[in-house]
Amino acid sequence: MGGGTAGWLSALFIKKKYPEHLISIIESSKIGIIGAGEGATPNLKILLEKLEIPEDEFLKNVNGTRKTGIKFIGWNENTEHSFVHGFKQGIEDVNFYSYHFNARMLAEFLKNIAIKRGVEYLDREVFKFEIADDNKIIKILFLGDGSINCDFVIDCTGFSRMIIGNIYKSKWKSYEDQLIVNSAIPFFLNSKNSEINQKTIASAENFGWIWKIPLQDRWGCGYLYNDSLSRDQDIEEEILKKFKKEEIIINKKIKFLAGCFEEVWIENCIAVGLSTGFLEPLEATSIMTAIFQLENLPDDIFDYSKRDHYNYTIEKLNLQNMTFIRHHYNCSRNDSIFWKEYKKKGKNQELNMIYDNIWSNKRNKDLLDIFSIEGKSMSFTIDQYKLIMGNNFAKGNKSFI
């Protein structure tokens, strides 16, 4: 259910993993996709290789560039300070990189490949779901007429969360006490890159921060902020002021709440992508998590004995990602209402324990214990925590944590 990056990646992956099954995507052309996220982490590159999608073809069709990491600017009391969180930190593999891309072009590119590989595409609006006595979805009815029988459903309906939220009413875990960003105003800078930049730029600003992503034909950008602390009008004015020499296209505001569902697999439905929840764009964890979900699907998707462990694993992954993002905001910047607000916020227990480990010179295995993950690696390592700490916190001052 649903297209976009999560929907079409899911269709391609599931078609390859379970070739004996008929895979259909139901997506209404009348309903747009969010299409704001335009960067990913290296597991996207790994997945595209597994799906046998050539890099040159991918980059050409999505106006893409390689992404080697994130350049942070101003996340410190010295607002001119910058540093790079690179993917290769501590890794010798020269091919460890990801991509920037036009999200709408990516969805169309993946759609065309999926249809060629036998995925059925149904351009229909859903009217309702038929639920059997055992609480499983057995039929999807379309607006107007028509229906489709189903054995299993992947909910990729984005922020509408049509199935996992509205039908199965999975319990919501809010992270708003830790991540206060709740709004984004995306915008494009229509200036071509004479020298292709291979890093996402994350620039700390008065009201929050700006992402700036280099594509072949433009910069895809967005201003992240809390709309209870700042007016939308003030954000747009700051964008126009900061980029006054550029040709700017400002897009519609996106509103979201930081959090995730505690169970993403209920009955015969698994939610993937924004349907499962959202933190915020920092560190590009959304697509990373969607791919992690796909990679951890059981060999037999109808083996419901794997459901509880799957839900537990994804919940812990979301906690890891939230904690690392929260770590960035525990910085020494304190020059506006937005940054002062974070100084009032308490830190989650896991982040405090990580700080204790860092000052005690412990290693990654101790972080695994903190997050209670058995046999799984960390999505972000202790060295990455130290990198952010050394650059965001004034002179690594322990008093900031």
- For 281-330, what is each residue's pLDDT tens digit? 999 999 999 999 999 999 999 999 999 999 999 999 999 999 999 999 99
What region, left, alpha or beta, does residue 52 occupy, with left being phi > 0 and alpha being psi -120 to 50 degrees?
left
Q: What is the pLDDT of residues 99-130, one digit of tens each?
A: 999 999 999 999 999 999 999 999 999 989 99
CATH of domain 4-64+101-177+257-302: 3.50.50.60
Return the minimum-mean-pLDDT range out of 242-246, 251-255, 360-364. Answer: 360-364
Give me the pLDDT at residue 194, please: 44
Give the CA count within 13 Å in the CB-facing half-sphere of 260.
28
**Range of weakest confidence among 55-59, 144-148, 269-273:** 144-148
**What average pLDDT does range 31-58 have in this prediction?**
87
**CB-facing half-sphere around the CA of 390: CA atoms within 13 A:** 10
Reported in sequence order, the residue ranges of 172-229 that DSSP labels E, i.e. its strands, are 172-174, 183-189, 199-204, 208-214, 219-225
- Cα separation, 358 vs 154, whole angstroms: 39
- Calculate mean pLDDT across residues 336-344: 93
**92 has a pLDDT exceeding 60:** no
Q: Alpha-carbon distance 393 to 110, whole Å?
A: 41
pLDDT at 395: 47
Identify the pLDDT of residue 364: 60
Query: What does the pLDDT read at residue 217?
Result: 87
Give the model's pLDDT for residue 396. 43
What residue ranges of the chain are covered by domains with CATH 3.50.50.60? 4-64+101-177+257-302
Q: How far apart are CA 109 and CA 188, in angstroms?
A: 21
SS3 call for 287: helix
For residue 36, the model assigns a pLDDT of 60
Q: Of 214-223, 350-359, 381-390, which has the strongest mean pLDDT?
A: 214-223
Stretch 206-217: mean pLDDT, rounded?
94
Round to whole Å and give the CA distance between 59 and 171: 39
Going by pLDDT thresholds of 50, 70 and 90, the confidence category of residue 144 is confident
